Amino acid sequence: MGASDDANVAEVALLDRFPDDGWVRARRWSPSQGMVNAIYGLIGAICPGRSDGAPADKSVYDAVFVQMVQTFPYMSRLARMGLPWIIRVLDWSPIWRFEGVVRLQSLPPEQGSAVLDRVASSRFALLRTFVTAARAAVLTAYFDLPVVHDALGYDPVGFMRERIALRRRLEAGKVSEQTDLLQPSPQTLLAAAVDKS
Amino acid sequence: MILNHRDYRADSHFDAEVVVVGTGAGGAAIGAMLAELGVDVLFVEEGGHHPTSSFNPYLAESMPRLWRDAGTSVILGRSTFLYAEGRCVGGSTVINGAMTYRAPEEVLQSWHAQVRDDSLGPAAMESWFERAEQDISAKLHRDIAVGGDNRIMALGAERAGWHHEKNRRNHIDCVGSNNCILGCVTGAKQSTLVSYMPRALGAGARCLTEVRARRLLIERGRCVGVEGRVVDPRTLKPTGRIRVRAQAVVLACGAVQTPHLLLQHRVARRSGQLGRNFVTHPNVKVLAIYPHEIGGWRGLSQWGQVRQFHEEGIILAENMGPSGAVAAALPFHGRAIWQRMKHYNNMVLSGVLVEDSNTGRIYRGPFDTAVPVYSITQADLRQFLRATRLLCGMHFDMGAERVILPFTRLHELTSADQIALIDESRIKISDLELFTPHLMGSVRLGGDERDSVVNPDHEVWDLPGCYVSDASVFPTAIGVNPQVTIMAMALRAGERLAARVLARRRAA
């Protein structure tokens, strides 16, 4: 970053991944091999499987893992202390739930997912919170991947480039046009509403 | 001038007339006011300086850069929940939804009566609100910024006969790129990063970034500066020490970190109110899936608010976010999460905000951590259940196929006939999935040392030279988005502080 005389260096975003604004990223968390296996077990159980067009190959799971260990050092101290513990508790959940003698990491993803479903509906709020935390850690990373964006039909970068260009036009004194309006229109939305008549 | 970790020695010393800790709504506004009146101002900011050019829509890399704790900060209580706070130059104004609602008149009247200071009444505050709104360009939006989810809420409210108020937001030519929570990519949102901070820096202020304030420097009972630690960006561990000496120290670190910093100095002993009266304006998310495309991620994050129930303490509004944020808020995983998320283009994320009926407290935990504790009440729970029923009814009326609920015991409804299940499911407080970006109170302002922490000039009663300028000074909850009220109060406090500092300079 270095010394700068101006807080507003540029008007618009370049939309680059890992932008070079001089900010130094923290070293990734380096979990033990046992913890790595447990994390991959959770990723498999929490991410969607291959069904229905969901991206689910090894490179996707590796990318989720990398995002998780990159984010970990920035988490609150409570989260940094708690997350490894939560991962272990959930990894051992098939055993302490007396559902089998193998850990989550050894189960096929569908079975692991089903075990987590049951933990998530536990009568103990703490256990439900564990699943919520694990889901948030994994799904934030999974649904942030460009390959998943593509599968969802979600193109934030393309849309933002279009909007940045529109704002530049407005700043240059041009007026907006009908085509700049976002769809669907109110008429379309009302047509789909429940007919009260 | 903005400095960062590369610019500091192991032990760096700075002098200024006023040091402002924090660059969000309260810190940047008061700092700009002081600097433009000729005061030598130095900001200390824990986060980095990330200009508009660096913003992007990727959640997992933007949150560590811009959000405190990468968005994992929690409030403990009967329902443990996450809170959002910015940690960067611009603070929470970089990641907020840009709403510019003033504290309601009845709230200002109650503050006036409580504090017994005429300058806090609605009439006296009017000019400060106007000035803040002008500084950050608070206004309504053009139609080109309005997206499908915005329209659903407005049309749904109209069909239900509810009063829907369009938001005034701080922006210049917002075109609805909807990246508010990860930094505005068009530069339209007038966060303090692009409004007050450039003005302050232009007037000669300096800003030390990547420095965490650790303690106040106190000599003979007077606050004379602040000591901080430079954080090594690779290890995130404190390394060098920074000491700033100043005539006045302004704390503007927010309603969690400001009391956390003050708590180690045993101030406000007469009232015992430091850290208390913490309010959170909690909210829950209600997500509707429609059978047709909405494109909620295109367009404003929030166009308006349903204000029909505001007097009862309830606000309803839309607030669509990036796919990663939406997925993390849903009570599903595995195949079930994909079955919902594949309809991301058909989703409307709406929410319920409930005005606090309880207060919490900030504690100082081990390892220099702040521990916020807060629980909602049974009355709040009833408000959330009622508001959720209302939102579900509205979405089904607008044609939604299913609505995903914020309860761990009841996840989803697929028709209006099922709304009764919300009452039948015996939802408890611990079943609510709460969230909040609106943290207030905890360093209450008042007219009497026996029931408050700071005086009407925002100076800590028993620590001369130490001022507070953020939402922590609010005497009570305000029930609306706090940004403009923080700024208006900061400008008011800034004018008073500048007069003192400049008088002292002249006397010297």
Contact B161, B306 (CB under 8 A): no
Q: From the list B69, B338, B430, which residue is nearest A48 (CB)? A: B338
By CB neighbour count within 10 A (0-12 exposed, 13-18 middle, 19+ buried), where does B358 fall? middle
CB contact under 8 A, B185 and A10: no
Q: From the list B53, B147, B328, which residue is nearest A136 (CB)? A: B328
Q: Using alpha carbons, select from B8, B212, B69 the residue that is nearest to residue A1.
A: B8
SS3 B348: strand
Sign, CA dihedral B469-B472-B474-B475, equals negative
CB contact under 8 A, B207 and A70: no
Q: What are phi and psi of B102, to 5 degrees?
A: -80, 155
Query: Residue B447: which residues within 8 A CB-CB, separation 6 or more?
Result: B114, B115, B116, B117, B455, B456
The position carrying tokens 């907020």 is B96
Question: What's the complex ipTM?
Answer: 0.93
Show pLDDT as tens, one digit a residue, over chain B (508 residues).
Answer: 999 988 998 899 999 999 999 999 999 999 999 999 999 999 999 999 999 999 999 998 899 999 999 999 999 998 889 999 999 999 999 999 999 999 999 999 999 999 988 889 999 999 999 999 999 999 999 999 999 999 999 999 999 999 999 999 999 999 999 999 999 999 999 999 999 999 999 999 999 999 999 999 999 999 999 999 998 888 888 889 999 999 999 999 999 999 999 999 989 888 999 999 999 999 999 999 999 999 999 999 999 999 999 999 999 999 999 999 999 999 999 999 999 999 999 999 999 999 999 999 999 998 889 999 999 999 999 999 999 999 999 999 999 999 999 998 899 999 999 999 999 999 999 999 999 999 999 999 999 999 999 999 999 999 999 999 999 999 999 999 999 999 999 999 999 999 999 999 999 8
Considering only CB atoms, which chain B residues are within 8 Å of A186?
151, 155
Q: From the list B1, B53, B299, which residue is nearest A10 (CB)? A: B53
CB contact under 8 A, B4 and A22: yes
Q: Hey, what amino acid is at A111?
A: Q
Considering only CB atoms, which chain A residues are within 8 Å of B433?
132
Tokens linked to B3: 């400095």
CB contact under 8 A, A26 and B74: no
SS3 B163: coil
Considering only CB atoms, which chain B residues are within 8 Å of A151?
342
**Class of B2-49+101-135+193-273+442-507 per CATH?**
alpha beta
Q: How many A/B residue pairs have CB atoms within 8 Å? A: 314
Distance from C-alpha of B191 to C-alpha of B188, rounded to nearest angstrom: 9
CB contact under 8 A, A70 and B60: yes
Distance from C-alpha of B425 to C-alpha of B8, rounded to nearest angstrom: 58
Contact B92, B471 (CB under 8 A): no
Considering only CB atoms, which chain A residues are within 8 Å of B197?
7-8
Distance from C-alpha of B254 to C-alpha of B471, rounded to nearest angstrom: 6
What is B143-180+279-436's CATH topology?
Glucose Oxidase; domain 3 (3.30.560)
Distance from C-alpha of B95 to C-alpha of B93, rounded to nearest angstrom: 6
Considering only CB atoms, which chain A residues are within 8 Å of B367?
77
The position carrying tokens 């909040």 is B436
Contact B101, B479 (CB under 8 A): no
Neighbours of A177 (CB within 10 A): 10
Q: From the list A10, A25, A148, which residue is nearest B52 (CB)? A: A10
Distance from C-alpha of B126 to C-alpha of B122, rounded to nearest angstrom: 6
Q: From the list A45, A192, A194, which residue is nearest B334 (CB)? A: A45
Considering only CB atoms, which chain B residues are within 8 Å of A158?
none
**Partners of B15 in beta bridges:** B245
DSSP assignment of B383-420 equals HHHHHHHHHHHHHHHTT-SEEE-SBSS--EE-SGGGGG
Distance from C-alpha of B330 to C-alpha of A131, rounded to nearest angstrom: 11
Contact A64, A142 (CB under 8 A): yes
Portions of chain B given CATH number 3.30.560.10 = 143-180+279-436
Contact B55, B179 (CB under 8 A): yes
CB contact under 8 A, B155 and A160: no
Q: How far is A163 from chain B (nearest CA, A)?
A: 6
